[in-house]
Structure 1
């Protein structure tokens, strides 16, 4: 009896089936880890050692270069290659701005008959590509466009605020600005600002050269590299600074996607042969719209007859406002940025109350990081 009770307390004996099940489970995990490691090594070899992988890696690096985390690109391409690519883009952008305009835009001066067809002033069409969504704005009369600036010194202003305050029909963001750590107050532009034929801001001096995007007194778009004195002689009425000019005399200057300066939100401006101004607004850094390269924007403009085109500030600054409503989806989680300049469209631009907010200020003493 005692023997039977003792035997009943002994643990059950493991069968060969249980051992096989445990062994099989460990094998599956082991083979999965080996397979994952092998695939990771293959992917890394493709990413760093093949031409197709390198193309993807460089595109990713160029995309990062357009953000506030530019230095992160070094983890993909190294510090030396990062500097090399930034220098190369700067050099290419400078070269794109040198060729002189051949006057392909016809503003109707040579026509013997005045046009009886009345075009709508503002037209907005949705556009899209494989990685992006956005809008193409057509302004039929280039003389209806003005550069607006903030109302108060010391801080930029949202485009939607400029539109509402000055009674504009439409507005898009304008030129570049001093933006320390991408946290600037949006008050200090870079280069030059001209509005209503008057120089509002100039950090280059009279004989300094600057990359501009502007419109002259005849309504012709001016883009590229010019001396400030040249801009005055040419009668430029509205202008901001940014680059590059990427369509010159009807010819696209960006040869491929690989040269398109990464994928990002974009704002760009162009002019067609009949004088119409085009604005291309591309959303980016979002699930349904990653962004576009400048090559993408170039092709959109060429498809719509542009003979001149230039880049404007993009990224988190990209915004389109129409009838006091934001049309696109700015990439920043905080919404619109505070900016120093915007392109605004008016029925009667001569009546727009746009004052020089930098008048009387020593621009050398502006602190762009102080809110």
Structure 2
């Protein structure tokens, strides 16, 4: 046997073993370094989480963020989740506090007057104008209806089932429509048929669950085109000549002044719908999309109030928002509702604009039904 070959083979084998051992040691060192890095990252994340929790619960700015998040959840079907942010007792207190504020905001006597332009001037302007609006985190539309006497309140066609705004616009032959009042919505899966409060259309009471002596906050229009918003009894509404109205709250502008002091009192971020009126009688509808990160998260009521004031509103009130927010013009949905269907939810009422409102035949779909006879969860 060749001793040189044997010696070379031994050297090669030894080198291979040395290289393998070196690789194993390198792998172990790499694993240790990776382990230390991951451990440090874990500690950093824990530290950041503890710091974030401390900031949220122990600092004024963090507390404001918590309450903003809670207020936003309160406006959704997941209201119960707010208790994990501020606690159940604080959630109950918060809701009660807002309700009291909303009640107080509807008390001041409204003294605004409107002066409609002469017919020739009125006819020279388009009946409906739509403008884009936007702000920090939201996008939406402002719809101006220059003749308030051409607005009617539409209702569904079939007992036991609400109707989408687009469907109401098309069925009644309206040129535009906006969602109006709220409704009973068990488990957030209601059929949209049972309104809350009152529904008045063409001067007739279509629905009333308030009782004859109780008050409710309404958003409506009287026979002369003047917007009515605030807390009234049914008799007061009739004495005032209210022609079209739904129950909703809060009133956010009265006698030309905003009632919401700042964004902190704006009741969270959400899709919004609101109605207002200028001194020349023009009705303003603000429709803001929300719950769509990257496009439009939504707005608070202070944002809506400021938009209304900027555009000359002397009175304004909140309408049903959230998943109900909807704007239809010329047979098309202009906004992007936060619903699975691009055509929105089934609703009990909608504000409709007509070129010839006298030709609109709106029948009382609740005739002969008592509130207690309606199952709002049954389709």
- Scaled to the shorter chain, the TM-score interval is over 0.9
Which of residues 243, 261, 264 is equivalent to 2:267?
A: 261
Seen in structure 2, the aligned counterparts of structure 1 residues 145 and 44 have a Cα distance that, compared at 3 Å, is same
Structure 2: how far apart are the matches of 1:244 and 1:40? Answer: 38
Seen in structure 2, the aligned counterparts of structure 1 residues 114 and 175 have a Cα distance that, compared at 3 Å, is closer
Say whether the 8 Å CA contact 2:113–2:226 is kept in structure 1.
no
Query: How far is the alpha carbon of 1:27 from its aligned partner?
Result: 2.1
Q: Equivalent residue for 1:150?
A: 156
Q: Deviations over 1:205-225 (max 9, x none)?
A: 222211100000111000010
Higher Rg of the two aligned structures: 2
Query: Whose helix proportion is higher, 1 or 2?
Result: 2
Structure 2: how far apart are the matches of 1:324 and 1:302? Answer: 29
Taking the TM superposition and a 5 Å limit, the aligned residue runs for 1:70-81 are 70-81=79-90
User: Comparing 236-245 with 95-104, which one deviates more in the overlay?
Assistant: 95-104
Q: Equivalent residue for 1:130?
A: 136
Q: SS at the partner of 2:157? A: coil
Structure 2: how far apart are the matches of 1:285 and 1:18? Answer: 48
| 1:225 paired to 2:234 | no
Q: Equivalent residue for 2:367?
A: 359
Q: SS at the partner of 2:348? A: coil
Structure 1: how far apart are the matches of 2:339 and 2:119? Answer: 46
| 1:177 paired to 2:183 | yes
Structure 1: how far apart are the matches of 2:257 and 2:168? Answer: 34
Q: Equivalent residue for 1:83?
A: 92
- Uncovered stretches (5+) of structure 1, i.e. residues with no partner: none
Say whether the 8 Å CA contact 1:269–1:310 is kept in structure 2.
yes
Structure 2: how far apart are the matches of 1:10 and 1:275? Answer: 94
Q: Equivalent residue for 2:3?
A: none
- Uncovered stretches (5+) of structure 2, i.e. residues with no partner: 1-5
Q: Equivalent residue for 1:293?
A: 300
Structure 1: how far apart are the matches of 2:235 and 2:22? Answer: 94
Instruction: With the length of structure 1 as denominator, give the TM-score of the two structures.
Output: 0.94
Taking the TM superposition and a 5 Å limit, the aligned residue runs for 1:198-347 are 198-287=204-293, 288-335=295-342, 336-347=344-355
Q: Equivalent residue for 2:62?
A: 53
Seen in structure 2, the aligned counterparts of structure 1 residues 224 and 20 have a Cα distance that, compared at 3 Å, is same
Structure 2: how far apart are the matches of 1:19 and 1:188? Answer: 70
Query: How far is the alpha carbon of 1:24 from its aligned partner?
Result: 2.6
Query: How far is the alpha carbon of 1:127 from its aligned partner?
Result: 0.3
Instruction: With the length of structure 2 as denominator, give the TM-score of the two structures.
Output: 0.92
Q: SS at the partner of 2:337? A: coil
Structure 1: how far apart are the matches of 2:86 and 2:75? Answer: 15
Query: How far is the alpha carbon of 1:276 from its aligned partner?
Result: 0.4
Seen in structure 2, the aligned counterparts of structure 1 residues 48 and 157 have a Cα distance that, compared at 3 Å, is same
Q: Deviations over 1:57-106 (max 9, x none)?
A: 10000000000110100000000000000000000000000001112433
